[in-house]
Structure 1
Amino acid sequence: MSLDFEKLTVYSKSFSGFTPDKEALLLEVGSQIKPHLAAVTDEFYQQLATIPETAAFLEGRVEGLKKTHRLWMEGLFTGPYDKDFTAQMFKVGDVHVKVKLPVEFMAGAMTLINNRLFTLIIETFGDDKQHCARTIAAVNSVTGFSLLVMQQSYQASSLAEELEKFLKISGMSRTLFTNLALAYRDK
């Protein structure tokens, strides 16, 4: 399945309110936030460890997951937030699909991450309420953007599974299906 990551970028940014001014703000504050992201990651995985349902997904993998998580969080404050970023977020979602992580875990995890990031922003910029509020809104938008893209992986996987079921039930070959789809696509 081939996705148009440029189109998915525009779509996800519009739903998350991730505007160019918010992108610029994240780049501006990144140098002040990035030194704290290892602690945010550590706290996140400590919280996940207290949730019994996440244990099977973490067992023996926490240190590797932390490294990947820190890199993702740094990317939230370094950009660019383009089709390559979107493709990477889709890939992250695809990995979650492959390990059969329930989709609701991603939304819950993003809430935990945002809670900690918002606290960090208040601690860092709390003296300037407007700047603090704008920064929280920017972080909320970039994490929402990331989550929307990651969740598209689940939808794509579901469609692929349905197609496989259809092909198996109908006895139709993938080649025939693809040729039929291409023939009717422009009509």
Structure 2
Amino acid sequence: METRSERKSWTVQKEDIHAELAEMMELTPEEKTLLSELEGGAEKQAEALTEDFYSRLLAHENTAEYFEGEDMSERHAMIADWFVDLFSGEYGQEYVAQRLKIGHVHVQIGLPVRYPLSMIDVIMQHGRTVAEQSASPDAAEEAFQKVLSLDIAVFNQAYEDRQLKHLANLVGGERLARRLLTGVGD
């Protein structure tokens, strides 16, 4: 199998990430409307989500340490707002920029990516509960899964950006860093 030394995907950065992911997710205007109609239901579900979310995180020593000395009411409000935004119906560049910012904060505090990703089932469960309130629950759940997938992709992009930046600084350039990461030339 031939290994490529360059990939088109390597050139997609910053604002272009949104366009690429939006195209890949194939989120239709109808799905956006369906989700936006459920925003009120998401607001009502947000408290139960935050309770389940932080109960799990605080029950484990390795994740609980990230909340020592933190104002948990502020954390609850932040995760509640994030959850409700999943049902906003607006998933443009501003939405992606905000999600990248959240991801970068997780990177800056040194939170291993495995911890936020291990919480996806909690978010999915509560998203499903909201989707069930729709006149078209199956379509609403499918749309919610797409938006959550978008968030996961953007969140992971924040981690990749940080790692790539550090490696590029060490080796003198992003192209070389990407080549090293992929093992091209081995």
Amino acid in structure 2 at the alignment position of 1:138 = A
Aligned to 1:103, which of 113, 118, 131? 113
Aligned to 2:35, which of 23, 26, 30? 26
Following the alignment from structure 1 to structure 2, what is the Cα–Cα distance between the partners of residues 52 and 16? 35
Between the two proteins, the alignment pairs up a number of residues equal to 162
Q: TM-score, normalising length from structure 2?
A: 0.77
Secondary structure of residue in 1 paired with 2:37: helix
Aligned to 2:69, which of 57, 60, 79? 60
Aligned residue in 1 for 2:160: 155
Amino acid in structure 1 at the alignment position of 2:69 = G
User: What is the RMSD computed on CA atoms of the aligned residues?
Assistant: 2.2
**How many Å apart are 1:118 and its aligned residue?**
1.4
Following the alignment from structure 2 to structure 1, what is the Cα–Cα distance between the partners of residues 44 and 50? 11
Secondary structure of residue in 2 paired with 1:92: helix
**How many Å apart are 1:3 and its aligned residue?**
4.0
Larger Rg: 1
Alignment of 1:15-164 (within 5 A): 15-61=24-70, 62-122=72-132, 124-125=133-134, 131-164=136-169
Higher helix proportion (structure 1 or 2): 1
Higher mean C-alpha deviation, range 148-157 or range 27-36: 27-36
**How many Å apart are 1:64 and its aligned residue?**
2.1
Q: Which runs of 5+ in 1 are unaligned?
A: 168-176, 179-187
Given that 1:106 and 1:147 are in contact with CA atoms closer than 8 Å, whether structure 2 keeps it comes out as no
Following the alignment from structure 2 to structure 1, what is the Cα–Cα distance between the partners of residues 74 and 41? 25
Identity of aligned residues (%): 23
Secondary structure of residue in 2 paired with 1:159: helix
Amino acid in structure 1 at the alignment position of 2:66 = F
Given that 1:15 and 1:145 are in contact with CA atoms closer than 8 Å, whether structure 2 keeps it comes out as no
Given that 2:35 and 2:143 are in contact with CA atoms closer than 8 Å, whether structure 1 keeps it comes out as yes
